[in-house]
Amino acid sequence: MDANHYEFSRLGPDDLPGLVALERLCFSHPWNERQFLLGLENRAFHVFGLKRGGELAAYCSFHAAADEMEVLNIAVAPPLRRRGLGHRLLGLVLQICRNLGITHGYLEVRRSNAAARALYQAFGFVGYGVRKAYYPDNGEDAVLMRLDFPAATTDPERPGAPGQTSAQSQGEPS
């Protein structure tokens, strides 16, 4: 199924069961319900997701302050990977960030996660450093990546592209 068949929306406390379940499927050190709830209630971060039939298929959480954002997590349900959900979700989140006036994005990713690194690179993220032995489960290094948001382009798959539809720009944080 095509990624465009999933509904994009901002997630909140009502989405906690789906967030926690997806988090457990995707990460070796998952966030728990309390961590998500505290972050959502205190507006410490934003969470957006893709749903189909009420089921959460993917989510992206990020922190935004001043003109910077940091991707905290992106998760796609394992059976739905390689179908463009992560690409669509990240593109929409980056568009929201651009609309908020953000000019720089940051993240860290496992060195071994070639698929995630390729996704980030497709949006213009570049590596700029390494955090040695960052991940506690296996001591793997984290690759630090940065995005300087590009000027408006004509590529609809890039953040800020003029050709994006209203459905792609919906769900801006309040």
Task: Please spell the DSSP secondary structure of 137-161, one letter per residue.
Answer: TT---EEEEEEEPPPP-S-TTSTT-
CB under 8 Å to 6, separation ≥6 — which residues?
A: 50, 51, 52, 57, 58, 85, 88
Q: Is 108 one of the catalytic residues?
A: yes
Residue in 6, 23, 59, 120 annotated catalytic: 120
Give me 143's structure tokens: 């690759």
Residue in 59, 108, 134, 140 annotated catalytic: 108
Q: Is 33 one of the catalytic residues?
A: no
Distance of CA 60 to CAs 12, 14, 37, 75, 167, Å? 12, 16, 15, 7, 17
- Please identify every residue annotated as catalytic: 108, 120
